[in-house]
């Protein structure tokens, strides 16, 4: 079993190691900044005292939220960790009056697209050459139920 809670500075090392495993274009200083700017939107999943996943969401305007990043360590995938992290971000957005949530996902990342689709996100646009390696991003969006 896992629990979802707010990120604490002592989780930093574990979050960065999940991030390094998950993304080609990782950037640990970015995560420090994200925490400083936005500690409320930084969540982790913990299993037996170990951080196994994280998600970062942020308000980008009064009514719009953005899911900036999410990853789960390889050993603990396909157990609903990402689903729970996103549901918690969506609950927090809802409490804050957010109406629309958006995110970007690599065109090739079919696993993440399926995850988001299951949670009610739809593809609304493409940004060509969005990532540093030239890959395009799909923009996905969800209207929050009140």
Ligand X SMILES: CC(C)(COP(=O)(O)OP(=O)(O)OC[C@H]1O[C@@H](n2cnc3c(N)ncnc32)[C@H](O)[C@@H]1OP(=O)(O)O)[C@@H](O)C(=O)NCCC(=O)NCCS
C-alpha triplet 114, 46, 122: angle, nearest 5°: 20
Comparing CB distances to ligand X, the nearer of 87 and 94 is 87
Between CA 72 and CA 125 the distance in angstroms is 26
For residue 91, the tally of other CB atoms under 10 A from its CB is 12
Contact segment (CB under 6 A) with ligand X among 3-11, 58-66, 72-80, 92-100 equals 72-80
**C-alpha 134: how far from its chain's center?**
21
Quick one: tokens of 59? 């308000």
For residue 118, the tally of other CB atoms under 10 A from its CB is 10
Check binding of 105 to ligand X (CB under 6 A). Answer: yes
Least Cβ distance, residue 65 to ligand X (angstroms) = 15
Least Cβ distance, residue 124 to ligand X (angstroms) = 15
**C-alpha 4: how far from its chain's center?**
13
| Residues constituting the chain | 146
Contact segment (CB under 6 A) with ligand X among 30-38, 74-82, 87-95, 122-130 equals 74-82
Check binding of 136 to ligand X (CB under 6 A). Answer: no
Check binding of 56 to ligand X (CB under 6 A). Answer: no
Check binding of 1 to ligand X (CB under 6 A). Answer: no
Least Cβ distance, residue 102 to ligand X (angstroms) = 12
Site residues (vs ligand X, CB under 6 A): 22, 70-72, 77-83, 105, 109, 111-112, 114-115, 118
């Amino acid at each position: 079993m896992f629990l979802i809670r707010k990120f604490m500075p002592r989780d930093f090392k574990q979050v960065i190691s999940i991030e390094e495993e998950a993304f080609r274009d990782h950037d640990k200083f970015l995560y420090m900044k994200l925490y400083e700017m936005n500690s409320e939107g930084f969540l982790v999943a913990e299993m037996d005292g170990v951080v196994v996943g994280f998600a970062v969401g942020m308000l980008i305007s009064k009514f719009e939220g953005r899911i900036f990043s999410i990853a789960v360590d390889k050993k603990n995938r396909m157990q609903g960790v990402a689903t729970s992290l996103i549901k918690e971000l969506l609950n927090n957005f809802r409490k804050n009056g957010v109406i629309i949530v958006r995110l970007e996902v690599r065109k090739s990342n079919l696993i993440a697209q399926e995850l988001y689709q299951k949670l009610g996100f739809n593809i609304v646009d493409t940004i060509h050459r969005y990532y540093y390696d030239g890959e395009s991003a799909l923009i996905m969006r969800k209207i929050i139920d009140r």
